[in-house]
Structure 1
Amino acid sequence: MISTTRVHLMRALTAGAAVAAVALSLAACSATDDKAASTPSTSAESPALAALADLQKPLDAYPVPTEPIEGVDADKGGTLYYIPITQQSPEFAVDQAGVEAAAAAVGMSVQVCDGKGTPTEVSACIDHATNAKAAGIILDAVPYDIAANSIAAAQKAGIPVVIGNQLADDRHPSTPTFTYTAVSGSAQQEALARWVIADSDGKANVLMNVTTDGQSQIQYAADGKKVFADECSGCTVATNEVSSANFSQVPSSTSSALLKNSDTDYLIVEFAQFLQATQSGVQNAGASGRITLAAGSASLNDIKAVASGSVGAATAQASAFVGWMYVDATLRLIAGQSVPEYTIPIRLFTKDTMGDVQLTEAAQESGEWFGPTTFTDEFKKLWGVA
Structure 2
Amino acid sequence: MHRNRKALPGIVKVRSVSLALLAAASALAGCERGSSNGPGVSTAGPGGCPAAQARAQTAVARAEKSEIPWNGPTSGSAAVSGKTIVYVAQTMTNPGVAGVAQGVKEAARVIGWNVRVIDGEGTPAGIQAALSEAVALRPSGIVIGGFDPNSTSQQVASATAARIPLIGWHAVASPGPSVKPRLFTNVTTNVDEVAAISAQWVISRSHGDAGVVLFTDASIPFAKHKSELIRKGLAACAGVRMLAYENIPIPDASSRTPREVSVLLSRFGSRWTYSVAINDLYFADAAPAFRSAGEKGSGPPFNIGAGDGDPSAFQRINSEQYQAATVPEPLSLQGWQILDEFNRAFSGRPASGYVAPVHISTAANSDGATAWDPSGYREAYRKIWGK
Which residue in the other structure is 1:20 paired with?
none
Which residue in the other structure is 2:100 paired with?
95
Residues 37 and 239 (structure 1 numbering): CA distance in 2 closer, same or farther, change over 3 Å?
Answer: farther
Which residue in the other structure is 2:349 paired with?
337
Contact 1:83–1:139 (Cα < 8 Å) also in 2: yes
Normalising by the residue count of structure 1, what TM-score does the alignment of the two structures yield?
A: 0.80
Which residue in the other structure is 1:159 paired with?
164
AA aligned to 1:327 is L
Contact 1:141–1:166 (Cα < 8 Å) also in 2: yes
- Tell me how far apart the structure 2 counterparts of residues 261 and 174 of structure 1 sit (CA, whole Å): 42
Which residue in the other structure is 1:359 paired with?
369
AA aligned to 1:189 is A
Give the secondary-structure state (helix, strand or coil) at the position aligned to 1:339: coil
- Give the RMSD, CA atoms, in angstroms: 2.7
AA aligned to 2:384 is L
Contact 2:56–2:204 (Cα < 8 Å) also in 1: no
2:334 equivalent to 1:322:
yes
- Tell me how far apart the structure 2 counterparts of residues 350 and 45 of structure 1 sit (CA, whole Å): 19
AA aligned to 1:260 is R
2:284 equivalent to 1:276:
yes
AA aligned to 1:140 is G
AA aligned to 2:379 is D
- Tell me how far apart the structure 2 counterparts of residues 41 and 290 of structure 1 sit (CA, whole Å): 21
Give the secondary-structure state (helix, strand or coil) at the position aligned to 2:132: helix
Deviation for aligned residue 1:94: 2.3
Residues 182 and 91 (structure 1 numbering): CA distance in 2 closer, same or farther, change over 3 Å?
Answer: closer
- 1:254-273 pair list within 5 angstroms: 254-262=261-269, 263-273=271-281
AA aligned to 2:60 is L
Bigger relative contact order (CA 8 A; separation at least 6)? 1
- 1:367-386 pair list within 5 angstroms: 369-372=372-375, 374-383=376-385, 385-386=386-387
Which residue in the other structure is 2:63 paired with?
55
Which residue in the other structure is 1:193 paired with?
199
Deviation for aligned residue 1:134: 0.4
AA aligned to 2:125 is T
Deviation for aligned residue 1:51: 2.0
The range that moved more, 177-186 or 94-103, is 177-186
Contact 1:80–1:110 (Cα < 8 Å) also in 2: yes
- Find the structure with the greater CA-based Rg: 2
Give the secondary-structure state (helix, strand or coil) at the position aligned to 1:227: helix
Deviation for aligned residue 1:110: 0.4
Give the secondary-structure state (helix, strand or coil) at the position aligned to 2:235: helix
Which residue in the other structure is 2:83 paired with?
78
Contact 1:30–1:241 (Cα < 8 Å) also in 2: no
AA aligned to 1:234 is G
Which residue in the other structure is 1:25 paired with?
none
- Tell me how far apart the structure 1 counterparts of residues 157 and 83 of structure 2 sit (CA, whole Å): 21
Normalising by the residue count of structure 2, what TM-score does the alignment of the two structures yield?
A: 0.80
Contact 1:176–1:336 (Cα < 8 Å) also in 2: no
List alignment gaps of at least 5 residues for structure 1: 1-28
- Tell me how far apart the structure 2 counterparts of residues 175 and 269 of structure 1 sit (CA, whole Å): 27
List alignment gaps of at least 5 residues for structure 2: 1-33
2:230 to 224, 229, 241: 224
2:327 equivalent to 1:309:
no
How many residues are aligned here? Answer: 342
Contact 2:118–2:134 (Cα < 8 Å) also in 1: no
- Tell me how far apart the structure 2 counterparts of residues 158 and 107 of structure 1 sit (CA, whole Å): 22
Give the secondary-structure state (helix, strand or coil) at the position aligned to 2:88: strand
Deviation for aligned residue 1:106: 2.3
Deviation for aligned residue 1:121: 1.6
Deviation for aligned residue 1:32: 4.4
- Tell me how far apart the structure 1 counterparts of residues 290 and 166 of structure 2 sit (CA, whole Å): 40
Residues 254 and 36 (structure 1 numbering): CA distance in 2 closer, same or farther, change over 3 Å?
Answer: farther
Give the secondary-structure state (helix, strand or coil) at the position aligned to 1:345: coil
Residues 185 and 279 (structure 1 numbering): CA distance in 2 closer, same or farther, change over 3 Å?
Answer: farther
Deviation for aligned residue 1:189: 3.1
Deviation for aligned residue 1:382: 2.1
AA aligned to 2:63 is L
Contact 1:159–1:177 (Cα < 8 Å) also in 2: no
Deviation for aligned residue 1:185: 4.0
Deviation for aligned residue 1:183: 3.3
- Tell me how far apart the structure 2 counterparts of residues 350 and 321 of structure 1 sit (CA, whole Å): 20
Give % identity: 21
The range that moved more, 244-253 or 178-187, is 178-187
Deviation for aligned residue 1:37: 4.2
2:308 equivalent to 1:300:
no
